[in-house]
Structure 1
Amino acid sequence: MLNLDHKDNALLEAVDGRTMLAGSNRMEILLFSLGTSETFGINVFKVREVSKTPFITKAPNMPNGVEGLISLRGNVIPVLSLAKILGVARPGAGLGGSMMVTEYSKRTLGFLVEEVDRIIRVEWDKVRTPDNVASGVNGYITAITELADGKLVSILDVETILANTFGEAIVGNIAPISGGHEVNVFFVDDSAVARRKITEVLDKLGVRHKHAQNGMEAWTRLEGMASHAQQMGRHVAEEIDLIMVDAEMPEMDGYVLTRNIKNDSRFEGIPVVMHSSLSSDANRAMGKRVGVDSYVAKFDADVLAETLRPLLQRARAV
């Protein structure tokens, strides 16, 4: 078994006792295959360990693509076949030789793959949002990057995989904010599922909102709003009451985006909330380092709403 907390130190930077690249606008991707010619990747910080495919206990009434359950150090976790979920499983093919144990939004899962390759480091500005992601395998891809040999790597959208397998999180009753129609939120997230759920929460809070799909797009639009407000002799805080950012995004990660916002005096007084599936203490600590006002793990609609509520009410009171 390979424990990914003990990778080659030459590939890692230590922050608060853990390996972190966040804030440097770089990420590490674990490459793997699903028995096709394509190469796939997943952010290393979502992966706890890699092992050979273990014995999996079948269970009744499992969603399509869920092979069964395993016991891992006293915890029972579901195991998913990524090839089946992405629709690329070959007829008669086995489960694959390797299992990645992932931790995502405080949830532990096993992902079966054909073979795990290696870990690479890439700059976020070399990670692009893919075109034409409406259906098929592309519907599960959140970003694309290119290896030195020209081979493309498709980075998986784990949020979409989980939503399509287990169902989307339900957004229940959320009380609207008094005067919410005057409140403006700008948020950015590269996952279509996440954007949809965030929109549901903001709609129930009764606030107005705009969004971007990656960090660079968000920063470009925010700079444009700030410049326009400046030309009009206004403060951009009159147009934006709160900014919400994802942590890992194509072209610019949420840590660099937050640092840009906090280092630009035009955005002074506008709170920044980081909303991320990377929910470890180390990620929260990095969020604090770059200046986020609050850090919320995906996806609990009530927790998100109750985190935003006082910040938005305070903004309206100013």
Structure 2
Amino acid sequence: MTSLMNSVDQRTNIVGQNRLELLMFRLHGSQPYGINVFKVREVIRCPELSELPGANPNVRGIAHLRGVPVTVIDLSQATGGKPVSDLTNAFILVTEYNRNTQGFLVGGVDRIVNVNWEQILPPPHGAGRSHYLTAVTEVDNKLIQIIDVEKVFSEISPVDETVSESVKEKAKDADFKDLTVLVADDSAVARNQVKRALSTIGINVETVNDGRLALNWLEAKAQELGGDISAKVPLIISDIEMPEMDGYTLTAEVKANEHLRHVHIILHSSLSGVFNEAMVKKVGADQFIAKFHPDELVSAVQQWMNS
């Protein structure tokens, strides 16, 4: 399994080309699932787990990885399935989401596949655990289901979505009623978090589910306004991982369009690390913010709305 992940750090050249690599895994049976390789720090055989009294029922325990305790979530049970039962043959995907490190217990791990974001599609109605799916794709004539891990994590460890009074105070004299911020994110949880945070300071928010829909919305707005839209839509907040068009590609498309290029762009992602800071500069975004800290996001929005 170490060899499977050894080359992850050498794969960054596909990012920014609307491509990604999925680590394929199983929960029960033969149904394949996928997770973006860049969210996975390592894959390990499930070690002995320590109990965590009072924890959420979907938390199977604590794994001690080189002396560091990591909470292990049963991904099957957390998405409405039966618990992973055979821990001796199970694996843990050690991931970074929303500034936290956690492990997801899965039944088995398969391989890494390289796909285009255009092949990643919104889930069809009635597909598997649709309540927890964020996207699907097809590999070797099999439907790969991509779970909304942000939703799973938010149910087990809810984040504080409160915007502080001090941040609200800074916006009390601002008049945003004629301005709109476009939010693009395939996770309903993330879209609602951003919308609630921005509504506390009176900002109008439009939301879309992916980068392709975001670009279509922006181009339609440019046609409606007859040119540069930045006076009315000064800011886009975009996830990075999205079906059909990722946030990096969306940013590059916006900056290449004469009617859109003056709109500021914040890339807002559960993917973290120095890598994203470098990609922000490469594609021309204005800022990268790791999910989800309401004060940091709202403060940044105020800055770009006023610039």
Q: Which TM-score tier does this pair reach, normalised by the shorter chain?
A: over 0.9
State the 1:280 CA deviation.
1.1
Quick check: 1:82–1:112 contact (8 Å CA) kept in 2?
yes
State the 1:3 CA deviation.
6.4
1:204 corresponds to: 200
Quick check: 2:228–2:258 contact (8 Å CA) kept in 1?
no
Q: Aligned partners of 1:215 and 1:39: how far apart in 2?
A: 25
Q: Letter of the aligned partner of 1:32 in structure 2?
A: F
Q: Letter of the aligned partner of 1:165 in structure 2?
A: I
Quick check: 2:251–2:283 contact (8 Å CA) kept in 1?
yes
Q: Aligned partners of 1:300 and 1:215: how far apart in 2?
A: 22
Q: State which drifts further: 213-222 or 19-28.
A: 19-28
Q: Aligned partners of 1:22 and 1:287: how far apart in 2?
A: 11
Q: What is the correspondence of 1:35-184 to structure 2 with a 5 Å cutoff?
A: 35-89=28-82, 93-95=85-87, 97-132=90-125, 137-148=129-140, 150-173=141-164, 174-175=167-168, 176=171, 178-184=174-180
Q: What is the correspondence of 1:184-223 to structure 2 with a 5 Å cutoff?
A: 184-223=180-219
Q: Aligned partners of 2:289 and 2:26: how far apart in 1?
A: 32
Q: Aligned partners of 2:198 and 2:258: how far apart in 1?
A: 27
- SS class of match (1:305): helix
1:4/1:49 CA distance change after superposition, 3 Å: farther
2:238 to 245, 255, 277: 245
Q: Letter of the aligned partner of 2:201 in structure 1?
A: L
Q: Aligned partners of 2:14 and 2:67: how far apart in 1?
A: 31
Over the aligned positions, Cα root-mean-square deviation in angstroms equals: 2.0
Q: Letter of the aligned partner of 2:7 in structure 1?
A: K
- SS class of match (1:236): coil
In structure 2, list runs of 5 or more residues that go unmatched. Answer: none
1:268/1:93 CA distance change after superposition, 3 Å: closer
1:8/1:311 CA distance change after superposition, 3 Å: closer
Is the aligned partner of 1:7 residue 2:7?
A: yes
- SS class of match (1:181): coil
State the 1:84 CA deviation.
1.1
Q: How high is the TM-score relative to the length of structure 2?
A: 0.92
Aligned residues: 301
Quick check: 2:228–2:262 contact (8 Å CA) kept in 1?
no
Quick check: 1:87–1:136 contact (8 Å CA) kept in 2?
no
1:32 corresponds to: 25
In structure 1, list runs of 5 or more residues that go unmatched. Answer: 14-18
Quick check: 2:161–2:197 contact (8 Å CA) kept in 1?
no
Quick check: 2:180–2:203 contact (8 Å CA) kept in 1?
yes
Quick check: 2:5–2:43 contact (8 Å CA) kept in 1?
no
Quick check: 1:3–1:48 contact (8 Å CA) kept in 2?
no
